[in-house]
Amino acid sequence: MTTTPQTLRAALQSALTSHAMLEIDGLHAFEFTLDEMLQIESMDGRERKVWRFSLAQVDAAEFDAALQSWVINDGNADHRMLVLEAFAASDDDEEDVE
């Protein structure tokens, strides 16, 4: 069973090291960084969208257990964020050994 990180910052740091995907407001982020702030970039059709959150806003995010997502506010509106686990394929071929 997967455990939910206690904070959004912890979930994002884990996502960066495991190359997990991030979804915000229903859009898959093609890039995000977490240093002095959280910056997320995504494409909505032909439109590039960018979200920026301060570390204080990241730390104030709340986990919605019913929807299994984080709710973060940028000072103007709430945004729903999912941290999706990454899966990697193995290069090893499984062979039955008799």
DSSP symbols for 20-89: -EEEETTEEEEEEEESSEEEEEEEETTEEEEEEEEHHHHHH-EEETTTTEEEEE-SS-EEEEEEEPP---
Is 65 a domain residue? yes
Mean pLDDT of 53-68: 95
How many structural domains compose the chain? 1
Task: Quick: pLDDT tens for 2-31.
Answer: 555 689 999 999 888 887 889 999 999 978
CATH code, domain carrying 15: 2.30.29.190
Overall pTM surpassing 0.75 (yes/no) = yes
Domain span holding position 31: 8-84
At residue 1 the predicted structure's pLDDT band, cuts being 50, 70 and 90, is very low
Is 2 a domain residue? no
Is 51 a domain residue? yes
Is 94 a domain residue? no
